Amino acid sequence: MEERVLEMKAEVLKALAQPTRLKILEFLRNGERCICEIVPAINGEQSNISRHISLMQKSHLVSTRKDGVKVMVKVKDPKIFEILDSISIVLKNQVSEQSKLMRSL
């Protein structure tokens, strides 16, 4: 695979690979939300959340639009949630592997 494509893939993955950002994305599963809703919902610092959202925007994970004073955020591609769900499955598989090992003691 092309070096540039790998870098782009890594960039998308990196944008996903952070707990606060995952928390924001999970909150956005129910659709578009205002930053002013996100901040209290995930119990974060306003400036920190703002930076995480602008990072995800640069990585094309989310898009924003102004609505008066507010900034509305939404996940651009629902496939992102499929990826998050796949990660959950991988984690579950890892844990069940662990359990299997434990049972064989």
What is the binding site for its own copies (CB under 8 A)? 1, 3, 5-14, 16-19, 22-23, 26, 60, 76-77, 79-80, 82-84, 86-91, 93-94, 97
Tokens, residue 80: 């992102």
What is the binding site for DNA (CB under 7 A)? 14, 18-21, 34-36, 39, 44-48, 50-55, 64, 66, 68-71
| Min separation Cβ 99 and DNA, Å | 26
Strand order in the sheet with 70-75: 33-34, 70-75, 62-67
